[in-house]
Amino acid sequence: MGAILDLLREAQDARLSASAIRAGGLDLGATQAIVRAAAQLERACPRTGADDAHDEEAALGIALLAGYPDRVAKRVRPGGRQIALAGGGSAEIAESSVVRQAEWLVALEAEERSDGRSRGGVVVRLASAIDPAWLVDLFPEQVKEHREVTWDALSERVRTRESLEWDGLTLLRSEPADGASDEASRVLATAALAAGPSALAPREAFDAWAARTRFAASVDPSIEVPDDAALQASIVQLCEGRRSFAELREAGWLETLRRSPRWPAQAIARVAPDRVVLAGGRSVAVRYEIGRGPSLASRLQDFFGMTDGPRVGGGRVPVVLELLAPNGRAVQVTTDLAGFWQRHYPAIRKELMRRYTRHSWPEDPTKLAPRMRAPR
């Protein structure tokens, strides 16, 4: 609008002839009417300060915006000709337009493309640059605040985006550094529940804890069963005040489960010990697996001196024993150690004595040889 404003000023100063006005693209009658109206306004409202061309141009832009708020548009890309229109739709700035860089503008003169090109659309022939702050000043009731909380799977974190919009066009968009909120916690919890336990803790460690705790709950009613509902509730609680999987991992979900009063560590250890000591003095880990009984694996010699295998569950549940030869392979899997000694050991002993001559294979395995006795 600056060039047109200059032509109007020159016409107002009577420096332009009728032909010059027409050559500048102005309508002679409309220009003369504007000049007369401006003269009347100046007489009625004399100026009190020095002229400021910038202020005049801003005043014109504000006036045009006030008159045509439905024609507000925003450039899609910096320096590009495509614009998005308020209320929806799009158009293209004509190549002849002098408004080349302004991001916000008022589309004053537009028409459907009619130059025979294959693609149609609206072309804006005449536009005026505006400051988006004018929209807030003139039409504050049309400014809407939006808050969007979404899950970013790539970074494994909640993204919070806030924006101010005017009739569908974004005035301002920001991503607050501290986006923690109840809504962010809910979005994080939804993502964490969908990802499952392996996203929050080492899978093997979690499976071992869950199986051991389930077994403990099966023999001690005071211990809560860590079913899906209980575990999901613990994840939702852990998500409170957090925004990412990294924060959940740092908080230590598995450690949180182990410290929870719902699954007291001492009560679990009492009925589901994680290790047992065999007669030979070796401490062996007990394996707990969902759908299978507690089990352990150790060398056959470690069981010498025992008439019965270890029991867990307050002494009610025998542990499945994997009796290993010196090469680490199982020679027998049983819960009946006494029966193994009586029925199978004699034949197995002969084979072991032949293959492993440096090892001791007593005839009576229920007695601990002197050199094998556990230290007092």
Beta bridge partners of 320: 295
Residues 312 and 341 in one domain: yes
Q: Is 284 helix (H, G, I), strand (E, B) or coil?
A: strand
- Answer yes or no: is 153 within a domain: no
Is 301 or 181 the better-scoring residue by pLDDT?
301
* Number of neighbours of residue 285 by Cβ within 10 angstroms: 14
Residues 245 and 293 in one domain: no
Q: Which of 38-47, 86-95, 139-148, 200-209 has the lowest mean pLDDT?
A: 38-47
DSSP symbol at 373: P
Report the share of the chain in percent with pLDDT over 90. Answer: 52
- Answer yes or no: is 53 within a domain: no
Q: For the chain, what is the mean pLDDT?
A: 85
Distance CA 72, CA 62 (A): 12
- Answer yes or no: is 355 within a domain: yes
* Number of neighbours of residue 294 by Cβ within 10 angstroms: 23
Q: What share of the chain is helix, strand, coil (3-state, %, to 5)?
A: 40, 25, 35
pLDDT of residue 3: 57
**Structure tokens that stand for 215 in this block:** 């077994």
**Structure tokens that stand for 303 in this block:** 């069981």
Q: Is 81 helix (H, G, I), strand (E, B) or coil?
A: coil
281-335 confidence digits (pLDDT tens): 899 999 999 989 999 999 999 999 999 999 999 999 999 999 999 999 999 999 9
- Whether the pLDDT of residue 214 is over 90: the answer is yes
Which distant-in-sequence residues (6+ apart) come within 8 Å of 125 by Cβ? 94, 96, 97, 109, 110, 111
Residues 228 and 261 in one domain: yes
- Answer yes or no: is 245 within a domain: yes
125-144 confidence digits (pLDDT tens): 888 888 989 988 888 888 89
- Answer yes or no: is 359 within a domain: yes
Amino acid identity of residue 374, one-letter, is A
| Residue written as token pair 């025998």 | 318
Residues 279 and 261 in one domain: no
- Whether the pLDDT of residue 171 is over 90: the answer is no
User: What is the distance between the terminal CA atoms of the chain, rounded to a whole angstrom?
Assistant: 101
Q: Is 311 helix (H, G, I), strand (E, B) or coil?
A: strand
Distance CA 296, CA 322 (A): 6
- Answer yes or no: is 47 within a domain: no
Of 158, 210, 196, 206, nearest to 180 by C-alpha is 158
87-131 confidence digits (pLDDT tens): 888 888 888 787 878 889 898 888 887 655 545 588 988 888 889
User: Is there a contact between 224 and 262 (Cβ–Cβ < 8 Å)?
Assistant: yes
The residue among 243, 265, 287 that closes a domain is 265
Domain that holds residue 225: 191-265
The residue among 238, 265, 292 that closes a domain is 265
Domain tally for the chain? 3
